[in-house]
Amino acid sequence: MLDILLWNRPLTYRAAIFRCRLCRPKAGPRLPLSARHSSRMSKGTALVTGAAQGIGKAIALRLADDGFDVAVNDIPSNSDNLLKVVEEIKSKGRASSAHLADVSVEDEVKAMVTEVARVHNGLDVMVANAGVCTWAKLSEMSVEDWDRTMAINCRGTFLCYKYAGIQMTLQGRGGRIIGACSTSGKRAPSPFMAAYCASKFAVRGLTQAAALEFGPHGGITVNAYAPAPVDTEFLHALDASNAKSTGSAPGAFIESAKNWGPLGRIGTTADVANLVSFIASKESQFITGAF
């Protein structure tokens, strides 16, 4: 049996629970499935957005390995992959639940955080990982593409920070808020990534301001990871866009990206997940406002 908590957009913003039953349970008290599948003591609860694939998936699985129960989020079109992530987390002996929500919509994020805290008895780690990239020169980009990029990458991160911070403050036991930045938030690598770069520069400032606000409330820390290009479907989509817009050979963008850092290679999702694992740990308690 798998649970998805789907945040629709009617005025009530109520959660509809969809269940895929391998067998019908006997009648009796019903709890969310995610509350019944943790076989070991939990370090707490983490929520990872954009977790159906790529970096988000790697982070969710790593946090499960670290001993966290993990709620995962993505958009409805990625629900099948999200359910597979839930099953992988549960196979590690941890509780998990899937939450379909658009992180750019305030009521959906607010409801999602509230439901995760209810199902898992609190929220200890928020990883605002969801993001998109529009490949277009500034002079050719539509307002709609600009707004979409900023809505998901900036507003989505803001909303995740906001409602995770409120929840953690109410709990009074600290917490970790972690955002997705990028080396593109420090230096623009391409004229075709204007909106993406602007959004990641914004995440840097947001992270620093949030760290100042939430730090006094029980030691809540706010940090962001800022990797160079990582080997994901996201990167390969950018490579395809680059080939189409510049006439370059397929793979040329990825090859050039290897030289953006001193190591001379593309990162892996595990590289990022390892960093997030540390930021989410008690050992990082004196680090905040970093990216």
Residue with tokens 């993990």: 70
Those residues with Cβ within 8 angstroms of residue 154's Cβ, 6 or more apart along the chain or in another chain: 199, 202, 203, 206
Q: Does 196 participate in catalysis according to the annotation?
A: yes
Cα angle, residue 149 at apex, residues 244 and 54 outer, rounded to 5°: 75
Tokens of 259: 């030289």
Distances (CA, A) of 5 to 62, 256, 262: 22, 41, 43
- DSSP assignment of 93-115 equals T--EEEEE--TTSHHHHHHHHHH
Q: What are the two backbone dihedrals, phi and then psi, of residue 159, each rounded to the nearest 5 degrees?
A: -65, -40
Q: Verify whether residue 200 is a known catalytic residue.
A: yes
Selecting among 186, 200, 225, 282, the annotated active-site residue is 200
CA distance 106 to 103: 7
Which listed residue (26, 196, 225, 244) is catalytic?
A: 196
Dist CA 224 CA 121 (whole Å) = 25
Task: Report the catalytic residues.
Answer: 196, 200
